[in-house]
Chain A
């Protein structure tokens, strides 16, 4: 039997779907992003302009949204790493009987509907939400704290949403650390903290990098949580793309912003893969 022909037959249906719908549709955004848009009239056919991209690079509003998106991505990634590492460590190195229940408690929020999780944070963080009610009834504050429609709310929600991804990546990395190496370092007189910083941490670096890329790329692309917890005014790139398409109907500017977002995501993945390979080559 001709295996290449069988292979082609097996792959073709999926390839046709992905090329015909996914690839073509994304590529068709490119011409739109170079078209001129006139408010009230719409996209000017056969026009050609770099205006939509120049605006992202020069306009203060767009620049602020891009920087905010990247800063938020970095903040969420750093927070997930710091909160996630101890959790992964407890799961891998703690009592084996607790391993499965703790893992399931990490997976459960991950499997839970994103909209539901964000809704839960709204119930907690609004002016009359649980956190403010609690603090006010304890007399710690007199006026409700502003926990939503700003950086605080979006950060809390996004850290909660992407933390499980980080934990699972770190669990996988920690499982691959041979215990003999740690034991050897300890036998040779290293303290617990030193064993951790000199042996465990460097050996889990690939997992830290992989988890950080994943969380960063996911958080700069997030639409639901920033919109639900940030409201219509606290914009990030994804929510701005949504508004340009659905409210302003400025598809030209929206597709230029879409390409910028894809370019950032792809660049980050490519650069960190290169960095990871170089690191692995040195080690």
Chain B
């Protein structure tokens, strides 16, 4: 049987490209353990000093805390708003579902930096500049399309007769949704929430225009400290983020088969 399979040359090239994708990750991790105060690769001597410095530095701790609070709040808000809207669109409760979906996806089409400056001007006008709630609102706007998209994808894979069966057996609309539909879309919801969380956690182009000095998030801190020069504590905090990302990705893969939703 003459099957189309990647040959040796194609496979080796592809593996090299996949290796290229991991290079900066490996470099950052190695740099985080370096003993010298300037960044060298390969590291000269191994030390955990920079990790200690990051975990005791109030600037880093505050940035990590603010990033986490912001990402969790925005993700939760997006989940509530996004699941409700996606369910209504899926059930075609309103006319013009396609147009509504396009509108809900619009924050993905407009470049983030434009969303950032637009919200900067708007929040300045209405006096919300510097408010943490306004920052959560901004992150909700940029994360909600991911929830809507993955929940819509999950909903379209559900057999509608399941919810009907629940209704016939006496469940009302809300409980049929909670007992039947919600558990079925859980993998898609988990994947969408993870995407939303990661998007919020790494956002610079919107946050940098809106966050006051006391609201500096972790990516903003790294982004602006790199302009001052490279320092191994940046590599250390980045290594912590790399490990956290890897753990979350593997857990999401086990729970929800994450790769199917990307």
Contact = CB atoms under 8 A, between A and B. Distances in A.
Interface of A: 1, 3-4, 6-8, 10-11, 13-15, 17-18, 21-26, 28-29, 32, 83-84, 86-87, 89-91, 93-94, 100, 102-124, 126, 128-130, 133, 160, 163-164, 168, 179, 182-183, 186-187, 192, 195-196, 200, 217, 220-221, 223-224, 227-228, 238, 241-242, 245-246, 251, 254-255, 258, 261-262, 265-266, 269
A67 to B, nearest CB: 17
B204 interface: yes
Interface in B74-128: 80-82, 84-85, 87-89, 91, 93-94, 100, 103-104, 106-107, 109-115, 117-123, 125
A67 B52 CA distance: 46
Nearest 10 CB-CB pairings of A with B: A7-B93, A120-B24, A221-B111, A25-B122, A10-B88, A90-B14, A25-B118, A14-B81, A116-B238, A86-B14
Contacts of A119: 24, 28, 222, 226, 230, 234-235, 238
B88 A6 contact: yes
B180 interface: no
A164 B21 CA distance: 8
A29 B13 contact: no
B24 A121 contact: yes
Interface stretch (B54-62, B154-162, B182-190, B240-248): B240-248
Contact of B5 (A94, A115, A130, A221): A94
B6 A90 contact: yes
B205 A116 contact: no
Helix, strand, loop or mixed for chain B's interface?
helix
Given A25-B121, A122-B230, A251-B121, A106 B141 contact: no
10 contacts: A6-B173, A18-B104, A29-B114, A87-B18, A91-B14, A93-B4, A108-B245, A223-B113, A265-B111, A269-B109
A103 B111 contact: no
Given A107-B262, A113-B219, A120 B94 contact: no
Indicate the member of B89, B201, B222, B258 with the most A CB atoms within 10 Å. B222
A93 B173 contact: no
A262 B6 contact: no
B122 A10 contact: no
Given A21-B122, A29-B117, A258-B117, A113 B85 contact: no
Interface residues of B, number: 92
Given A117-B24, A238-B111, A245 B10 contact: no
Given A22-B141, A26-B118, A86 B94 contact: no
B14 A124 contact: no
A255 B222 CA distance: 27
A254 B117 contact: yes
Contacts of B110: 26, 262, 265
B118 A29 contact: yes
Contacts of A10: 84-85, 87-88, 93
Contacts of A238: 111, 113, 205
